[in-house]
Amino acid sequence: MELRGHSFMNRSTTSWHFNPCGYSMVVEAENFVFNSEYITTTRFNDTYKGRQPVVLDWAIGNVTCEAARRNMSSYACRTGNTVCVDSPNGLGYLCNCSSGYQGNPYLSNGCTDVNECEHSPSPCPKSATCQNIVGGYQCSCPFGGNFSKETNSCTNGLIGKPPEGVIIGLSCGIGVLFIALVSTLLIRRWNQGIKIRVRKAHFRRNKCLVLEQLISSDESAMHSTKIFSLDELEKATDNFDSARILGLGGHGTVYKGILSDQRVVAIKKSKMVDQIEIDQFINELAIMSQINHRNVVKLFGCCLESEVPLLVYEFISNGTLSEILHGDNLSSRISLTWDDRIRIASEASSALAYLHSAASIPIFHRDVKSANILLTDNVSVKVADFGASRSISIDETRVVTAVQGTFGYLDPEYYHTGQLTEKSDVYSFGVIIVELLTRKKSIFLDSHGENKNLCHFFVQRQQDNTIMEIVDVQVLEEGTERQIDEMASLAMACLKHRGEERPTMKEVELRLQSMRGKMVMKRNHELERHGEAVTLLPSNYSNYFSTSFGAANSSNQCVTRCCTMERELVSWTDLPR
């Protein structure tokens, strides 16, 4: 295409004096209307910014498409996906992209596929699915429908008989689903059958072990213990969800559970599965089935369907004495008054004295520590964790066994000889008394960051007459020096190195009861002076301690451990609890 521009300068025209410039442009005639102001003013530039649309009609060469194909060296439409079109305005031809393609047909691979399915609106009807294909698209109608290009719609294709392929496909699909469903049901029933058989096997074995433990003592205790199913306990604990964990021990994990009757319980589950753990849980179940004391945690029942039996206890909400005394967060520690500490020691000693002397068979706890003393909302004691306990016959006083216990509470005589006696529990209880006095752990860090044994530390301070320096501040504020000395003396007696020099738990209980009685009488005396109501006590309460404690001190003259039981139990009825 060739364009030529000429300037005809006619200086005699009337416009030369105000516009000596000339303009030329190529525009589309249908879209441009000349105005004389375009010459005398700047209106053209202001209106069109110096631009106007232009349409150029052009073609390649001066031959038709048919003639051009004869000479492929000069043929412009030889790339893929192009089509040749004769010029509508004379000789020559043009190249266009084929249907379904777009781009520049004069470049190599310049025409690319168009994805018609991305156009809006979609080229397919709403009921059909558009699928792009090379050079076009196809519309897929719902099952049973056919697409009509003429009407661009889906028509019902099930007027006649369904295609054979459709029938075969549907039949195969339904058959496969049926086989999969039946197989799943059979496998599930098979697994449930295996689970039931395993649970029954565990139940039979554990029941035999429990009966074997009870056969020599009180077999009727087994019939008073409720047997829970494993499904019931799994439901109560949300399948033993970690969020239900109350505490972690050396041998088991305790979960909080809610039974179907809405009772809140604590469920003890073993961490490990071996014969030692099984024997220990069976031992705890057998012992707890024979204990009935208000200061011992109550066993509701057990589950024998698991490999290691599960134990179901009453739920104690206030945690352990160890947590309350030695909690990591000082601000969260519960304040224990001096009266509370005396009562805790008294109730714990009452439970241990019951185990040693008043249970159907004597029981040694073997793991007495503050972490195994639970406290209720009203700070009442519940002794727990009897997994390490041992029961002995009435006429025995000791048993030789493997050493077991917690460092810091372990009786040194038991540790060296392996002979477990009731005095081993007395030693451990002495450590608890020191914890109540000092609010220090059995193994604690001193000011130099070194580990100290609380028992050794306390004994040394007592010998140096500096015991008041390590007593808890709240005890110093609320207790009298005489009361603190009496409590410290009791701890010293319990911590004697030789077991025969230690008091029995019965004697420890009586001394603590005596302290509680004196404190109550002192408080009542002070209230009387101020004209206030007083706590009622038996008339012979003040004479009780001189007689009963004297009887306890002479109890070693009896032939058996139970010779003074009836007399002491009668006396206890006058004591406040």
The CA-to-CA distance between both ends of the chain, in Å, stands at: 120
Q: In this structure, are residues 568 and 551 in contact, taking their beta carbons and an 8 Å threshold?
A: yes
For residue 23, the 8-state DSSP code is: -
Specify burial of residue 408 (Cβ count, 10 A radius: 0-12, 13-18, 19+): middle
- Any known ligand binding at 269? yes
Q: Is 367 a catalytic residue?
A: yes
Beta strands in 136-188 (DSSP E): 136-140, 145-148, 153-156
- Cα distances (Å, whole numbers) of residue 232 to 248, 422, 542: 22, 38, 52
The distance of Cα 204 from the centroid of its chain, to the nearest Å, equals 33
366 backbone dihedrals φ, ψ, rounded to 5°: 75, -5
d(CA 563, CA 559): 7
CA nearest to 379, candidates 411, 410, 340:
340
For residue 144, the 8-state DSSP code is: T
* Amino acid symbol at 124: C
Kindly name the residue from 340, 367, 385, 472 that is annotated as catalytic.
Answer: 367
CA nearest to 230, candidates 177, 308, 119:
308
d(CA 10, CA 27): 24
Q: Are strands 310-314 and 299-303 parallel, antiparallel or unpaired?
A: antiparallel
* Amino acid symbol at 348: A
3-state secondary structure (DSSP) of residue 254: strand
d(CA 577, CA 575): 6
Peptide bond preceding 121: is omega within 30 degrees of 0, i.e. cis? yes
CA nearest to 127, candidates 157, 101, 100:
157
Q: Would you please indicate which residues are annotated as catalytic (active-site) residues?
A: 367
